[in-house]
Copies of this chain bind each other. A is one copy, B any other.
Amino acid sequence: MREAAVVETRPYHHGDLRRALVEAARRILEGEGPTALSLRAVAREAGVSPAAPYHHFKDKGELLDAVAHVGWDMLGDSMTGAKQRAADLGSLMTEIGVSYVQFSQQHPALYRVMYDCSRDKDELPEGMQDNEDSAYCLVRETFRKVAGPDVPIVDIELATIAAWCAAHGLAEMSTFKQFEGLKAGLGGEEAFLRGVLGHLGMFQPSRLSRD
Contact = CB atoms under 8 A, between A and B. Distances in A.
How many copies make up the complex?
Answer: 2
Given A169-B166, A182-B157, A207-B207, A122 B175 contact: yes
A210 B201 contact: no
B204 A172 contact: no
Interface in A169-184: 169-170, 172-173, 175-179, 182
A195 interface: yes
A56 interface: no
Q: Chain A: interface secondary structure?
A: helix
Given A122-B175, A123-B178, A154-B182, A165 B201 contact: no
A164 B173 contact: yes
A155 interface: yes
A196 interface: yes
A124 B176 contact: yes
A201 B182 CA distance: 21
Interface residues of A, number: 48
Given A169-B168, A170-B165, A176-B122, A207 B201 contact: yes
B172 A122 contact: no
A43 interface: no
Contact of A201 (B155, B157, B204): B204
Contact of A172 (B115, B120, B157): B115
Contact of A195 (B118, B158, B164, B182): B158
Interface of A: 35, 112, 115, 118-120, 122-124, 128-129, 154-155, 157-159, 161-170, 172-173, 175-179, 182, 185-186, 195-202, 204, 207-208, 210
Given A154-B185, A200-B200, 4 more contacts: A165-B172, A168-B169, A199-B208, A201-B204
Which 10 pairs, one residue from A and one from B, show the smallest C-beta to C-beta distance? A165-B169, A201-B201, A169-B169, A162-B199, A168-B169, A165-B170, A124-B178, A166-B166, A124-B176, A159-B199
